[in-house]
Amino acid sequence: MLGLLGLLVISDNPVAAQVVVVVVLAPLLWLFSWWLAGGIHRTWEGLVAGKPPEVAIGRAWRRSGARQQLREDQHAHFFHDRGGILMRRRDWFIATGTPPLRVDPETVAAAASAQQDHPRYVTTYSDRSYWWHQDAFYWTNCPELTGEDIKALLFARERRQKRELEHAHAVLAAASALLPERKRQPIPRDVKLAVFQRDEGACVECASNFDIQYDHIIPFSMGGSNTADNLQLLCGRCNQKKGGRL
Ligand SMILES: [Zn+2]
């Protein structure tokens, strides 16, 4: 409509034509050249950046669900390659199931020392944000968590695990004190001889004399002793059938 109006004015009046050129066409030309420059710039950037390397670790990406989580990703790491038409160095971060995510090497270098004391944000992929703390990588699907929150959560988790471990050791120690583990003692020769003679050199169950073994009637581990009263002859098969039973 503006163009039509311009044509009408130009055809009649040369001064108006000049005004139209200055007021309408010049800004349009200017905008067009901006748009063109932007496009060329973006294309050039794309060529310099190149395609990301085709690498993947672990299983395919899965959304983490509604439950809020903070979890370690033991496979996450940084790496670099060269790419784009200028073969420039490119820095990447990759985690389980994510494609390589471009990172700024200067930011990574600065975070590398800082992450020892405080969790440092690395990058975000889909609903997960990745954090770096004490040389380990963590992801959370809870975007409002700050570095301080993550530090506190990891600290609490570590302490809880330590307490659980201490508790487990205490339980084991208490159980061991109740049931001291006895070391199996060899059966004295004279006891063996007495048992052999008493049971006439044969299995008390099936009377076989093949593969004869000395069996503790009350198992040694349950407090049974190495006396003739607590011993009997069993063949290998009968002993196996008896198993752990008394
Ligand atoms: Zn037998």
pLDDT tens, position by position, for the chain (246 residues)? 555 555 555 567 778 778 878 888 999 999 999 999 999 999 998 898 888 888 888 777 777 777 888 999 989 999 999 998 899 999 999 998 899 999 999 999 999 999 999 999 999 999 999 999 999 999 999 989 999 999 999 999 999 999 998 998 888 777 777 766 667 789 999 999 999 999 999 999 898 889 999 999 888 877 788 999 999 999 999 998 887 565
> How far, in Å, from the CA of 214 to the mean position of ligand 1?
12
User: Is residue 10 in a domain?
Assistant: yes
Domain-ending residue, one of 119, 144, 162: 162
Residue 76 sits in the same domain as residue 150? yes
- Rounded Cα distance, 23 and 2, in Å: 11
Residue 76 sits in the same domain as residue 36? no
User: Is residue 34 in a domain?
Assistant: yes
- Rounded Cα distance, 98 and 139, in Å: 12
| Of 131, 95, 128, residue with least CA distance to 111 | 131
Residue 138 sits in the same domain as residue 78? yes
Residue 151 sits in the same domain as residue 76? yes
Give phi and psi for 87, each to the nearest 5: 50, 45
> How far, in Å, from the CA of 212 to the mean position of ligand 1?
8
Residue 77 sits in the same domain as residue 155? yes
Residue 44 sits in the same domain as residue 99? no
User: Is residue 169 in a domain?
Assistant: no
Structural domain including 212 reads: 189-242
- Rounded Cα distance, 228 and 217, in Å: 10
pLDDT of residue 38: 94
> How far, in Å, from the CA of 196 to the mean position of ligand 1?
14
How many Cβ atoms from other residues are within 10 Å of residue 121's Cβ? Answer: 16
**What global pTM score does this model have?**
0.57
> How far, in Å, from the CA of 241 to the mean position of ligand 1?
9
**Contact status, residue 94 vs residue 57, Cβ threshold 8 Å:** yes
User: Is residue 193 in a domain?
Assistant: yes
Residue with tokens 């390589």: 100
Residue 149 sits in the same domain as residue 107? yes
> How far, in Å, from the CA of 204 to the mean position of ligand 1?
7
> How far, in Å, from the CA of 232 to the mean position of ligand 1?
11
How many distinct structural domains can be found in the chain? 3
Give phi and psi for 89, each to the nearest 5: -70, 135
> How far, in Å, from the CA of 239 to the mean position of ligand 1?
7
Residue 234 sits in the same domain as residue 205? yes
> How far, in Å, from the CA of 243 to the mean position of ligand 1?
13
pLDDT of residue 67: 83
pLDDT of residue 116: 94
Q: Determine the Cα angle at 197 with ends 196 and 203, to 5°.
A: 50
pLDDT of residue 180: 63
User: Is residue 11 in a domain?
Assistant: yes
> How far, in Å, from the CA of 184 to the mean position of ligand 1?
23
User: Is residue 195 in a domain?
Assistant: yes
- Rounded Cα distance, 221 and 129, in Å: 54
> How far, in Å, from the CA of 208 to the mean position of ligand 1?
5
Distances (CA, A) of 195 to 100, 201, 209, 224: 75, 8, 14, 15
- The letter for the amino acid at 8 is L
Residue 42 sits in the same domain as residue 79? no
pLDDT of residue 223: 79
User: Is residue 221 in a domain?
Assistant: yes
> How far, in Å, from the CA of 187 to the mean position of ligand 1?
20
Residue 112 sits in the same domain as residue 194? no
Q: Where are the alpha helices (DSSP H) in 50-146?
A: 105-114
| Of 225, 180, 183, 223, residue with least CA distance to 214 | 225
> How far, in Å, from the CA of 235 to the mean position of ligand 1?
4
> How far, in Å, from the CA of 188 to the mean position of ligand 1?
23
- Residue 125 tokens read as 């992929």
> How far, in Å, from the CA of 220 to the mean position of ligand 1?
20
pLDDT of residue 56: 84
> How far, in Å, from the CA of 209 to the mean position of ligand 1?
8
**Contact status, residue 93 vs residue 103, Cβ threshold 8 Å:** yes
Residue 157 sits in the same domain as residue 204? no
pLDDT of residue 34: 95
